[in-house]
Amino acid sequence: MTLPVQPPVEPMLAKSVATLPQADATAAGYAYEPKWDGFRCLIFRDGDDVELGSRNTKPLTRYFPEVVDAARELLPSRCVLDGELIVVQGDRLEFERLLERIHPADSRVRMLAETTPAAFVAFDLLALGDDSYLDRSFDERRAALEQAVSGAEPMHLTPLTTDLAVAREWFDQFEGAGLDGVIAKDRAASYSPGARTMLKVKHTRTADVVVAGYRLHKTSTAEEPKLGSLLLGLYDADGHLQHVGVSAAFSAARRAALVAELH
């Protein structure tokens, strides 16, 4: 690939806030989007070459062949998009169907690609043609993204509003469909790979869960171990422990403390 933004790239991240922000009169303001419950994914396309990269820059290409095919058919010949891989069943997102894809057997991956196909929801643009969009404002990136993504199945363009009242309605209405909350983006901000420059308000609930294990953080060393994520489980009605997700949003100090606590 010879794209203006080359893989791997860490996607821009969001930090949690209690309420949706509202810009003052002197600022460009915020754009609001639904927060999708799926696999964060960057799509790199250079002609027939298509790569899918995860939030942690690990390759996802072999696990979602139907998305690769759709990118070749529906996206501009040279582009880099940021978005989310999702699986929709009925009127809900089904995160568990995505987890099933991370499987070593190619035959199973391709069977699942037919029976529970994934879709891609685009919400940002990093490059188009020979131009990098990293230093451009979100408003500029969104305008170019709307031209690049037609919205044809299974390549979707995420809804967006600049109306705070509408964003608050989305927060209440979309929870039943399996969405996580709402994202707020500074309309004047550039794209900052790996930085928590967006804001997110998530639906929250409490639950007693089993900590079945943990992964160390990518910056962890033998001298300074840091926790990356907790693996969480719940027992089903038959007493079997089922994986239900991960918890990974910790400060650096808490990551270090948790390693010692869990040890």
Task: Give the three-class secondary structure for 138.
Answer: helix
| List 15, 35, 58, 202, catalytic entry | 35
Q: Is 35 one of the annotated active-site residues of the chain?
A: yes
Query: How far is the C-alpha of 87 from the C-alpha of 93, rounded, in Å?
Result: 6
Helix, strand, coil abundance in the chain, percent, nearest 5: 25, 35, 40
Q: How far is CA 68 from CA 5, 31, 129, 132, 133, in A?
A: 18, 29, 18, 22, 22
CB atoms < 10 A from the CB of 119, how many?
Answer: 20
Angle at 114 between CA 110 and CA 120, to 5 degrees: 95
Q: Do 14 and 200 touch, CB atoms closer than 8 A?
A: yes
Structure tokens at 96: 């568990």
The set of catalytic residues is: 35
